[in-house]
Amino acid sequence: MKILVTGGLGFIGSHTAVELQQAGFEVVIIDNCSNASESVLDGIEGITGKRPEFVKMDLRDKAAVEDFFSQHPEVDGVIHFAASKAVGESVEKPLLYYENNLGTLVYLLGQLSTRPKAHFIFSSSCTVYGQAEKMPITEDAPVQPAESPYGNTKQVGEEIIRDTCKVTEHLQAIALRYFNPIGAHPSTEIGELPLGVPQNLVPFITQTAAGIRKELSVFGDDYPTPDGTCIRDYIHVVDLARAHVVALQRLLEGKNKANYEVFNIGTGTGSSVLEVIRSFERVSGKPLNYKIVGRRAGDVISAYADTMHANQELGWKAESTLDDAMRSAWDWEKKIRGL
């Protein structure tokens, strides 16, 4: 079976491409390389022994999307990662995010809706929950008003898929709301490669330890948490990638209970910023240069998943520890920096 992975050269997309190939699927990747490099294909091939088919394309080009599907009638499923993802940038450039994250989704669903059978996995996010009232967060938790255009594209994206599934019975879709992916493939062939200053905690930690950044800022230590810093659910990217494969298999085998389903993908454990720093120091043996600064606007206090639904329905659960993930992230950083 051939699976299209949009944004397949990115952090999560590339790890998912690896897991798909190792599960016996053929993979074709679409990426416009705006935030990724074609060299990632070498890493995927280095791990799996097979180079996926690659099409360099911008999904905002509706005619190109139509042409792709006319030339690839054998595609059995789509895993859709391609999207802009920087919260701060989305506030500054909202129209870019709505065009790139929602327009492309509409074009993909438009093509899938014309097929007799269609299987679709959507890369959603725990940002749809905002600051949830209860922890851990279940799939039944209310969707809160979005804090950013990026977060809103995930909420509206889910609504678009749900509404399309209501009128397109043959479209089988799953939205995976995942929490905070970190780490790298244990082979160190692929990992997270942020352009410019990292927007996420773990690559900022590893770049600080590598001497690329002077110090790490910890935004606030006066939150109502055990150590005063924000709590998140950090999941190893390989565990996350495997969740996409089992969700796809659920659709292909017809085991889904509705043609639109939603699952939380996380570890079920919350870790504070200081706990993540201590984990890094433990596995690397290096003290980290960090300082406590004021709170950052828009940060929720705590967010971690209730994963029972995914555990029971998908037969999936996260297997790697926080230390495992931090160790792999540091191994990857050392490799790309030649340390």
Active-site residue list: 150
Give the pair of three-digit tokens for residue 192. 């997270």
Tell which residue, 40, 132, 31, 117, has the closest CA to residue 81. Answer: 31
Question: Running DSSP on this structure, what letter comes out for residue 305?
Answer: B
Helix count (H) and strand count (E) of the chain? 12, 14
Given a contact cutoff of 8 angstroms between Cβ atoms, the answer to whether 2 and 74 are in contact is: yes
End-to-end CA distance of the chain: 40
Q: What angle do CA 61, 67, 69 make, to 5 degrees?
A: 110
Looking at this protein, which amino acid is placed at residue 45? E
3-state SS, residue 82 = coil
Give all strands (DSSP E) within the chain, no chain letters: 2-6, 26-31, 53-56, 75-80, 118-125, 171-178, 180-182, 216-219, 231-232, 234-236, 260-265, 271-272, 290-293, 302-303
| Beta-bridge partner residues of 78 | 4, 120
Q: From residue 107, give the alpha-carbon distance in Å to each of 24, 81, 110, 211, 293.
A: 28, 14, 5, 43, 43
Looking at this protein, which amino acid is placed at residue 8? G
